[in-house]
Amino acid sequence: MASKPGELRAPAWCHGASRKDAYKRGIASAPSVPVIVVLVTFVGFGALAQGAGLTMAQAVFVSVTVFALPGQVVLVDQIAQGAALLSTAFAVTLTSVRLLPLTISLMPYLRDGITPKWVEFAFAHVLAITVWIEGMRRLPPLPDGLRAPYYGGFVSALFLGIMCATTLGFLLSGQVPKEIGAGLIFLTPLYFFLSLIGVSKNSIDLLAVAIGAVLGPILYLTAPSLDLFLTGLIGGTVAYGLGKWRESGS
């Protein structure tokens, strides 16, 4: 059963809350499991950048301007391999296509007629998988006018956090035992998976998860770099089509 947005119960703090309250609430709710997992991955990026020969300031510059880990890893990897600017930009751009469907599906929740256009672009600047998952989980139950400021607070805190995490990773590079390093990398797929299951509303959502899970490794081996985008496009479309087919009762 698909639930209508109106059926979701707003959290208690929303009652009589101003936009400023929602912004503060967003900041306060940032220290959480998903944010810790993201910060851990950015610590890993800082270490990687150090190994590739970037300065600490350059590593932080990449984190704040790109704000999407797979693209950053590709960028730094290309630098380490001495690749040319154009081929590096091309590889990065392919890994970033996946940000398009994420942005399209979250932005409508952040548009309230009060938030200026340029802020929408700033909101999109930091939109990646974790922010998308947390947005889909946290925003729909909130009243219209509070979603944007809540999101603003959440991502402001995250933004500050990834700058610190990148710096920390740069400084810690090579200090973490490889067993623990492996465990930290492992947190990301586990968090992604559990959150996807958590935000699933119906069997069609779960079907999209299942098809995507099967296609992901196959397309990675057959069409690297555009693999994620194609996985999403094929998996999502098939799940959508099957949902329509079932709805039509045939």
Partner 1 sequence: MSMFVQGNWAYLWLFLAGFCATQPWRYLGVVLSVNLNTDSEVLVWVRLVSTALVAGLVTRMLLLPAGALASVPLDVRLGAFLSGCCLYFLTRKSLAAGVFSGGGVLILAQYFLAS
Q: Which of residues 37-66 bind partner 1 (CB under 8 A)?
A: 37, 44, 53, 58, 61-62, 65-66
Q: Which residues contact 120 (CB under 8 A, 6 or more apart)?
A: 107, 110, 111
Residue 188 interacts with partner 1 (CB under 8 A)? yes
Q: Please check whether residue 146 is in contact with residue 11, taking contact to mean a CB–CB distance below 8 angstroms.
A: no
Separation between Cα atoms, residue 26 and residue 123, nearest integer Å: 13
Of 9-17, 19-27, 163-171, 190-198, which part binds partner 1 (CB under 8 A)? 190-198
DSSP state of 208: H
Residue 124 interacts with partner 1 (CB under 8 A)? yes
Among 35, 39, 43, 75, binds partner 1 (CB under 8 A): 75
Tokens 């959150």 identify what position?
Answer: 195
Closest approach of Cβ 19 to partner 1, in Å?
Answer: 19
Residue 15 interacts with partner 1 (CB under 8 A)? no
Closest approach of Cβ 248 to partner 1, in Å?
Answer: 14
Q: Please check whether residue 42 is in contact with residue 165, taking contact to mean a CB–CB distance below 8 angstroms.
A: yes
The residue among 3, 18, 29, 16 whose CA lies nearest residue 155 is 29
Of 13-21, 23-31, 148-156, 212-220, which part binds partner 1 (CB under 8 A)? 212-220
The residue among 33, 42, 87, 86 whose CA lies nearest residue 62 is 42
Q: Please check whether residue 235 is in contact with residue 215, taking contact to mean a CB–CB distance below 8 angstroms.
A: yes
Residue with smaller CB distance to partner 1, 20 or 202:
202
Residue 154 interacts with partner 1 (CB under 8 A)? no
Closest approach of Cβ 250 to partner 1, in Å?
Answer: 19
Closest approach of Cβ 129 to partner 1, in Å?
Answer: 6
Residue with smaller CB distance to partner 1, 20 or 197:
197
DSSP state of 174: T
